Every structure is written in structure tokens, then in C-alpha cells.
Structure 1
Amino acid sequence: MVCKLSTRLMNICVASFCKVQQLEKAEAVIVDAIRLGTLPDVVTYNTLVAAYCRFVDLDAGYSVLHRMREADIYPNVVTYNSLIAGASNHCLLSRCLDLFDEMIKMGIPPDVWSYNTLMHCFFRLGKPEEANKVFQDIVTSKLSPCSTTFNTMLNGLCKNGYTANALMLFRSLQRHGFIPQLLTYNILIDGLCKSGWLRAARTILKELGKSGLSPNANTYTTVMKYCFRARQFEEGIEVFHEMKDKGYTYDAFAYCTVSSAFAKTGRLEEAYRCFELMVEKGIELDIVSYNILVNMYCIEGRLEEVYDLLYEIEEAGLKCDQYTHTTLIDGLCRAGNIDGALKHLKYMDTLGFDSNLVAYNCMVDRLCKAGYTNNALKIFETMEVKDCITYTSLVHNLCKERRFLHASKLLQACLNRGMKVRRPTQRVVVKGLHRSGLYSEARMLQSKIRVAKFCTD
């Protein structure tokens, strides 16, 4: 009895050291225990296998098996599950399959966790069909799939672009008596949101509310975030109020997301109220929060207060990033202070950022909208880095001024660089060339567009 208790105490010590990644001390505990006459068991070695696989590498974990054989201790399904998990974490599919086969040859029957891990590995490597075969093996075998099995399947389908299949599987499981957990709902809601199926995500959210489970802050924040990304501001704000009514505590991200949405819809009073709530809750403003405030001040034309805010940012020990300066440049342009915006753009070039592309794109677009297209073209020529947004902005504004030939040349240069331009913009340029009587140029552009489409497909 004493020996049994001692082995258990040793295993607790080994597990504790492994959790804090002190593997040398865990090994020292085993050495001292053996010296005192307490021998390790399969639990001891399984703990080491899992720790070495997680914190060192798979080979280190596998080497423990040789020590087990020397101690006349046989590995079990837990041992191999840890090894398969280690291989899966490093996306070593061939090793996963080899370990799976080795386990069967040794007469160790795989359990549901063995299959779950293998299925997860297939999904991580973008092999959903193989993962589905593993899932079918679980269903048709004598093993009983657990909630983790279904969650892994739903999550993998969503992440591999099979959201419709995930939703159908979810409905099928419900019909067969499966009771989803909160994690299951969150996985499905996240997958639906990422696929742009916001209405379906809201439906699942309502079902969650009726299921007896309570949505958590992560559930609401996910739906809210993707509503705002899809510019469905009212729906996102509705989710925010629902979250608030439920009494959930928000983090800085949630407050910033909502205040930014209020600002974009012109509801500045509510946006400022969000910041007041942040301060009341004791949440410290970070640079993202300050950037939203800078944007709100610029929208209202409170440029003098913006400079006070920049000083406040420095006093708080934070550093203005590219978006802070870009927002100020945009605000100066909106206020008609083009010279001030150009000076700040030059000042921004001295700050050593990796790329000021966003600021330059903003400057080009604002100059065009203010009627200074030629100035925008001069800045465009000086830009070392350009993207499709740069070209699209100029092409769009040149078309507004009926300078279709120039717009066509820029569009062709963009296509030659392998960049994508929205089809409506392409059609506007082609139609403009036709209306201007530039038929050969229109045919040439259409040919370039077809070649570019063929290369990208």
C-alpha cells in the first residue's frame, strides 16, 4: 500500500514539473524514486511522452518507448495517442499513420481519441475527404463518438470551406439526438460568419438562446465583429445591445469595435459614450482606441484637438503607428488643408515605418476627390510600392474626369503586374473608350483583361 501511494505521489510530482516545462526536474524525480525503491509505472512514462512531444519534439517523445521496454512496461492506447497528437501538432501526417498502424500491430485497439486526433490532422493539412473517412470509421465502428468528435468535424469542415456541409451535419446530428454544447454552437457560428452567412449565424445564435445554454462574450463578439466587417452596422449594434443586456463584460476590443461602427454610421455621441464606458470600467486605452478617437475628431474637424490627442498618446507611453498618421492625413485632406497633409506625409516618411502605402493611397484618393488629380498622379509616380487599391482609386477618378485613355493605360499596367481590379471598374473604362471613339484601345484593353483573367483562373 505504501509503495502504491509512493508511486502515485511520484506521478503527481512528475506531472507538475512537466506542466511547467521543467523536464530535467521531472526526470530527476524518477531517478530519485527508483533509488528509493519506488518504480515508475505506465502513467509515469505516459506523462513524459506527452511532455516531450509537446515541449521538445516527436522523436524525444518516441524515445521514451525504449525506456519503457527496458523497464518491462508496455505502452497503451494513451501512450500512442500522445505520440499521434505530437505528430499531428507538427503536421506530420505520415508519422501519424505509421504510429496508428504500429499501435494496431502491437494489439492495442485505437479508441475514439486516436481517431479524433487523426481526423484533426487531416483537416489541418487540408484533406477534408480523408478526415470524413475517419469520421465514418468512427460512426460505423463499435466506438461511440463523443462531443469532441463532432466538434472536430464541424470545425474542420468550416475551416476547409465546407460550411454548408458543416451546417447539414449539425442538423443531422440534432435529428439523431445530439445535444450541442456551447463550444459546438461557437464553432458553427464562427464558421458561418467567416463564410459570410451572417443571417444563418444569427439564426444559430437565437437557437442557442432557446437551448437552455447561455451564449458567452466570445459568441456575441464573433457575430458582432463579422456584422461590422460586412458593413451591417445596425445588426452588429443590435448584437452589442443584446450582449450588454445579458450583463456580459466586454474587453477593449469589443468597445473599440462598436465605437468604430458608431463613428462610421455618424453616431458620434454613442461612439464617445463607448469610450466613457471604457474609462468607467477601468479599461486602459491602447493605440487602437486612440486611433478611433483620432478618426472621430477628424470627422468632426477638431484638428487642433487631434494634436493634443497625439501629445496625450506620447504621455501615456504609447507610440503612434501608421494608422494614427494616416488618419490625421485623411482628416487634413477632408478639411481642405492639402498642403498640411502633404507635409505630414513627408514627415511620416522620416519615421522609419516599413511601408506607408496606406497613407499614400489615402493621399492619392483624397487629392483626386478634391480635384487635384494631376497632383495625385505626381505622388503616384514617386511611390515605390503600389497595390490594386492605388491603381483602382486613380482609374476610378480619371474616369470621372473622362480621361479614359489615361485610365486605360493605368489599368493595363495594373493587370500586367498581376493585380486584380474590380470588374465594374474594368467595364467603366472599356465603355468610356468606346464612347470616346477609341475603339482599337478598347479592343486592346479587353484583350488584356481576358488574358489576365485566364492567368488568374
Structure 2
Amino acid sequence: MALKSSFRSSSFSRNPSMKDNISSFLIHSHNFTTSTSKKELSCSFKNSLDQASLAKFLKENCRSGKFTLNEALYCFDYMIDSQPISPISSFNILFGALAKKKHYYDVISLYNRLNSTGLSLDFGSLKIFINCLCNIKRVFEAHAVFGKILKQGFSPDAVTFTSLIKGLCVERKIMESMELFDKMAVVGCRPDVITCNILIDGLCKAGRINVALKFHEEMTKGNEESGVFCKPDVVTYTTIIDGLCKAGLVKKARELYLEMKGLGISPNEVTYTTLIHCLFSLGDWENGKSLFIAMMDQGVQPSVVTFNVIIDQLCKKGQLDEANKLLEMMIQIGVDPNVYTYKILINGYCLVGRIGDARELFDSIARKGYGLDVVCYNTLINWYCKNKMANKALILYREMISKGIRSNVITYNTLLGGLFLRAEVKHAWKLVDEMQLNGVLPNPRTYSIFIDGLCKNGCALEAVEMVNTIVTNKFALSLESMNSLIDGLFKAGRFETAWELFQKFSQHENLMPDIVTYNILINGLCKNGELEKANELFLYMEEKGCAPDTLTFNTLMSSFLKSNEIPKVFELLHKMADRNLKPTECTMSLVMRSLLKDKKYHKYLNRLPQFPVEKPL
């Protein structure tokens, strides 16, 4: 069968590269201010804008955040076209309000338009501009604006430095952020607790947890020599506790939790949730549960995130009834569940096989006013596919498409796996074409699933053709795919093709054979009666630093026993003992039966090696 479209001639060959697509998207998605007409913008206001309504907008709407982007853009046009032009302070209020709503690209575009008018920008304007640039990872440009601040004779304050330090931390330029922090003291600018917290967060995210702990210690002691004058607050402790938890240092995290309480700093909902999640992740259910009770006793209201963490843990433990009781409790105390709460419960029901309850909850989400998304659908589709109900999975997929919910590569990978599990190869090919029509690009996992599915359904030659297409188009091929293909070729009786494929791809650095590869090859060679070649491969894999496992030894020994090559079996048994490996009971039974057939079995029994004794559970 000739490979069709993306799989048969690679979907990527007919589409721009992903990098080009992303670049194109960024260019077009950030050109906000030129794509909307003034007429469209003005319709957001009930009446034509005048100075009085502008003043009201700046004073009330901008400070409260109750405005749309279109309204802000229309105000800017009115302000810049006014005669005389509005004062810079008015523009600063507008820019600041837009920045708070994270319209960073718009602020930058408007800033450039304002700059072209010749109106002198003040310190406030430049600070807002720096903040916006740092938030979109354009720190280099932000430093240029910082230079402009110094050139114009302004003295940078803690807010300016904090924006730059935050930008450097986001870009993982931790050394530069620490150097900038040190410069604050040199120019006589005292960092505040917000600056320190941002630096600690950056250190933790960069894996510099020890440096973060030292910095925290300096804050606690008030080390003026290092330029640290402020004391840690609840955000400081929560940030570093989160960093410690993510680094697996839960003991130290709990020490800091007790320390902050000792200093009279009350942990907040985020502090408790961080520690509870960490304890659950480490399997410490009891301490996590105790901390939740302590949280409630201290009068700290758990958030929906806190409840989601605990409900998720209960679902993973299979305790769905307890999870539902907690759901009822959160509603009773006034915490509304969100769509993630229901996703967790749906997944929990699927994990224990309660698909009826999962579907009922799934259907109830829409009735409750929550929007179903692709994750909700994928959860149920995955369960149906794993349980060989691909037909029901496809019905759910069609429903999702009909509701305008965009499927993703996970959706298609799951469906393909389910179709191959039911040997519906033709339907899988059709789904690939549909995947392309919906603009979803395959990923390496897609190719692995398809190659494995073809091989397991007797289509090894089609799988070879697909691999050739992937290689020709210079896409990454996973070792998992290669292992599936080699296994499929052996099972199809294509021994020479499998061996050639192994020799060809074992030369690639990214496709170095692993224990799975060698076990497939050794098993295939043994079944084909090529014991010497299998044994040579066994020695070769050891030379290449790939240690054989119990399966490798058992496969070889079983084959040597069938051909009555007892010395070879004993050689392998001793090698196993040297590696603290133990043959399976089935293999040892075969060994003993073969030995008892030999007249000299007593001599062989004395040569049997001692294997490690498994400790009882």
C-alpha cells in the first residue's frame, strides 16, 4: 500500500515548518492596534468621548480595571489627537492600567506611537515600558530603556530594578539578576521585600536552592552588608517552601513552615496547599491530611486548588466515595468547584473502571454551566480505547468536533491506539487523513503508535515504508518505533530485513539499541534457529555497555536447552549469578529436567551456582 499524505508522503512536507508557523502567528497576533478601525473602537462608548468623560475613564475605569482593550485604544487615539495633546501623566495612567491587565504588546505599540509625537516621556512612562518589555522576555531592550532613564538624569527606584531582575529571572539569567541586585545598594537604592521575593523565586526555579536558602537567611538576619534590609514575609516563605518541595527537600520545607509560624508569620492558603501537594506527591497521605486539618483549624480557607489537590489524591487511591464527600464539603463552605475538579473526578472514575459514573458526571458538567474541553473528552476517549471500545470513543470524538471543540494530537494518538487494538487498520489510515484535515500535526508518539500498530496487525512492510518516509523527510525516529518495527519484522518472518534494519540504525547516535532492542533480536534469532548469532549478539551487547537482564538469559538458555547444549547453559547460569540475577522458575525447571536425562547429572548438579534468595514480602 502506498503511503498517503502526511504519513505516506509526510504531512510536514506540505506545510510550513513549525518554527515558521509560530513566527507567523506571533507577528500577526501582536499587530493589535492597526487592525481595528476608530469607528469600531468608538462603539464601545455610549457617547462621543470628550475631556470630561476621558477624565472619568482615567480616574475610575483605569484604576478599577473595568474597561475593554478597545475602549483603552480609543481613549489613546483621542488623547494623542487632542489639541493640545494630553499630558504624559494621563498616558501613564492608561499604560499602567493596560499593563496590569497584561496587554504588554499593546502598551509597547502605543508607547512607540507616543514617542513619535515628540512628547517628553517621564520616569513613570519609562518604568511601565521596562516592566512590559521584561514580561515578554525582551530584557535586552528593557536595559536600553534603563540606560535612557540614567541618561535623562532620573534615579531608578526599587520598582525599576525589580522589573529588570524579574525579566532576567524569567530568562534564567540568574547570575545577571544577582549582579543587578548588588548594584542596587551601590546606587543607593534599597531593595524591598518584593524584589527579594522575585530573586528567591528565580533562584528556586533555576535549581539554585542553596543560594536561595542563604539569601533567605540574610533576609531573616537583616544583613545590611549584602544590601538586604527587609524581613521575609509570607510570600518569601511560601516561595522558598515551594522551591524546596519541588527539589524533594520536604524536611527542610517543613522546618521553614515551623520557623515562619514561630516568627508570627501566618501561613496562607498557598503555603498550606504547596506543602500538602508535596506530601501527597511523596506518598505521605497521613501528614498531608493532618496539615489540611491544621489549615482548617487555623481558620485559613482552602481554595479550589487545595481541594483539587486532595480530591486528586483520593481519586488516585481509588477512594471515590471519599472524594465525593470532600466535593460536597467544599460546596457547603462556599468554595465552588471548577472544571478541573470535575476532570479529576472523571479521571478517578475511569481509573477504577466506573465508566458509567464517569459518563454521568461528564454529561452533568455542561448542565452545570461548565464548558467541556478537549481534556475532558480525551479522558473518556482514553478509557474507551484501552477497554477495546473504539467505536464509543469515536462517537465521543465526533460529538466533540460537532460542538466546535478542537481535538489535539493526544486525541488522535489515543484513538489510533484504540483502533489498532481492535485491528481496525483501514479505519486508522482514515483517521490520519482526518487528523491532517483538522490541521493537527503528528508528533513522534503518533509515528510510534502507528508503526507499532501496523506491526502488531501483520502490516510490517507498510511500517517499513513509513519509516523510510520519516527518515527521507528527516524527522526524528524514536527507538520505541524501531524496536516495534524490528519485532514486527521478526514475527512476519522477515529476519534478514530486521537484521539489516538493526545494523543500519544502530549507527545513529539518537537510536542506540537498548535492552529491549537486544532482547527482541536475540529472541527472533533463537526462534529462527540462529543460536550462534544470538550468542554473538549477547556478547556484543555486553561490549557496548548494555547489561543483559533476566529475560535475555532466559531466552538464550531455553534455546540452548532445546538443542541440548548443556555447557552453554551452565556458562549463562554462572554469568547470571555473577550479576545477582536469578532465572525464572520455568527456566530452572527446564534445566533440571534436561540434567536428569543425562547419566552424569550428579556432576552437573554440583556445578550449579548459588542464586540470591528473594526476601519474603
Which of 250, 261, 264 is equivalent to 1:142?
A: 264
Q: Greater relative contact order (Cα 8 A, min sep 6): structure 1 or 2?
A: 2
Higher alpha-carbon deviation: 262-271 or 11-20: 11-20
Which of 162, 168, 174 is equivalent to 2:286?
A: 168
Cα distance per residue 1:416-447 (max 9 Å; x no partner): 65557765675565566567654433343344
Task: Determine if the alignment matches structure 1 residue 217 to structure 2 residue 333.
Answer: no
Matched position secondary structure for 1:361? helix
Matched position secondary structure for 1:211? helix
Which of 127, 130, 134 is equivalent to 1:14?
A: 127
RMSD: 4.7
Evaluate the alpha carbon distance shift between residue 308 and residue 74 of structure 1 in structure 2; reply closer, same or farther with a 3 A threshold: closer
Cα distance per residue 1:305-341 (max 9 Å; x no partner): 6555555555555555555555555555455455444
Which of 542, 553, 571 is equivalent to 1:444?
A: 571
* Contact 1:93-1:122 within 8 A present in 2 as well: yes
Cα distance per residue 1:84-133 (max 9 Å; x no partner): 23333333345324433433234643333323333333344443333333
Matched residue type, 1:258:
L
Evaluate the alpha carbon distance shift between residue 361 and residue 163 of structure 1 in structure 2; reply closer, same or farther with a 3 A threshold: same
Which of 198, 207, 210 is equivalent to 2:316?
A: 198
Aligned to 1:119: 241
Matched position secondary structure for 1:109? coil
* TM-score normalised by structure 2 residue count: 0.56
Aligned to 1:63: 180
* Contact 2:365-2:371 within 8 A present in 1 as well: no
Higher alpha-carbon deviation: 284-293 or 426-435: 426-435
Matched residue type, 2:365:
K
* Contact 2:276-2:291 within 8 A present in 1 as well: no
CA distance in 2, matches of 1:420, 1:257: 38
Aligned to 2:9: none
Matched residue type, 1:245:
S
CA distance in 2, matches of 1:299, 1:171: 40
Higher Rg: 2
Q: CA deviation at 1:183?
A: 1.8
Higher helix share: 1
Taking the TM superposition and a 5 Å limit, the aligned residue runs for 1:45-56 are: 50-51=166-167, 53-54=169-170
* Contact 1:34-1:40 within 8 A present in 2 as well: no
* Contact 2:150-2:156 within 8 A present in 1 as well: no
Evaluate the alpha carbon distance shift between residue 293 and residue 45 of structure 1 in structure 2; reply closer, same or farther with a 3 A threshold: closer
* Contact 1:58-1:86 within 8 A present in 2 as well: no
Aligned to 1:387: 514
**Structure 1 unaligned blocks of 5 or more:** none
Aligned to 1:183: 305
Which of 77, 82, 91 is equivalent to 2:193?
A: 77
Evaluate the alpha carbon distance shift between residue 453 and residue 180 of structure 1 in structure 2; reply closer, same or farther with a 3 A threshold: farther
Task: Determine if the alignment matches structure 1 residue 87 to structure 2 residue 203.
Answer: yes
**Structure 2 unaligned blocks of 5 or more:** 1-88, 97-122, 135-140, 582-617
Taking the TM superposition and a 5 Å limit, the aligned residue runs for 1:257-272 are: 257-272=379-394
Taking the TM superposition and a 5 Å limit, the aligned residue runs for 1:289-368 are: 289-295=411-417, 298=420, 303=425, 307-317=429-439, 319-330=441-452, 332-333=454-455, 336-355=458-477, 357-368=479-490
- Between Structure 1 and Structure 2, how many residues are aligned? 435
CA distance in 2, matches of 1:149, 1:409: 58
* TM-score normalised by structure 1 residue count: 0.72
CA distance in 2, matches of 1:279, 1:405: 55
